[in-house]
A = this chain, B = another copy of it.
């Protein structure tokens, strides 16, 4: 049973291999009557696309999307929104050396074992190119959430050993987009960029962490007991290529705390039942349900697996061989993963927004 569909009411299905004719998706469950800002969609895609700066892959991907259905004169029809991106810049020659070899820590091997067939021309379905479809759909989700004033902003908070020590509350998140690593603190951003450039120079790569902040969330999003809001956020971002860890609120640090330190003292109730607490170790979510405080989570990404240096691996006969990466790959995935994290968060929030609508009888 395939896993290419995400969401229950606001539902995205993606398709496409990196070197097939197109990648794309079908977004179903978007209500009729939403006026789409196509420029905004494009600007979100531009934040994800390779070649945007000197610290990302220099690969060129077509960033021209085509909407096939579900939109008429710029307004959603309530029917499935299908869209695609043509694959243009494929250089299968970059991959010919991979025909019979598996790349270390790549998905080549397991795809071959699982499906018994291998399209060696690039990552196929495991390629990060698939995330373009997520960003497209996420841009629509953001516009929907925007009608409710919900905002979602992510930024890079760690690259390799360089960590941004400040909390998001001490930062101006609007500054994230002013530098190519997407870190809202300029000084730290400079160090991060240097770290990436050094890795790149050595043919190496480096991991990182993205922090995401969701603000103005209404109380009540998230469903007991399995579809807790943070559980669905965890799944959403862990499904992004290279993600290795997720934490929200106090996260792993919370494990070392005492209850008397960790509990968020309730101060007041505001507006539409939003809670105000002194601290926010709960990360805006109690028992899996949003409480109105900011939602804050972090995602860890491993370093990119394709290296421009020699590595030992095996071929399809199981024999040991050496392999050196070719092509144009990212030395660090996190700058381009920022809009993907935001997109996945937006898909979760939009889905839960609609799921919550029938929680109680209207009176």
Contact = CB atoms under 8 A, between A and B. Distances in A.
Nearest to A282: B105
A24 B68 contact: yes
Contacts of A232: 235
Given A257-B303, A360-B33, A239 B263 contact: no
A262 B104 CA distance: 10
A269 B318 CA distance: 6
Interface of A: 1-6, 8-9, 11, 13-17, 20-24, 26, 28-29, 31-34, 66-70, 72, 75, 77-82, 84, 102, 104-107, 109-111, 113-117, 119, 123-126, 130, 147, 158, 160-161, 199, 204-209, 219-220, 222-228, 230-232, 234-236, 238-239, 241, 244-252, 254-269, 273, 275, 277, 281-283, 286-291, 300-307, 309, 311-314, 318, 320, 354-361, 363
A1 B355 contact: yes
A82 to B, nearest CB: 4
A133 to B, nearest CB: 9
Given A24-B68, A104-B265, A302-B254, A286 B110 contact: yes
A249 to B, nearest CB: 6
A256 B160 contact: yes
Nearest to A245: B247
Contacts of A357: 357-358
A84 B119 CA distance: 22
A77 B115 contact: yes
A307 B259 contact: yes
Contact of A3 (B225, B291, B361): B225
B31 A358 contact: yes
A360 B254 contact: no
B13 A250 contact: no
A132 to B, nearest CB: 12
A241 B263 CA distance: 15
A208 B254 CA distance: 8
Nearest to A312: B265
A238 B230 CA distance: 7
B3 A224 contact: yes
Contacts of A290: 110
A45 B85 CA distance: 26
B286 A77 contact: no
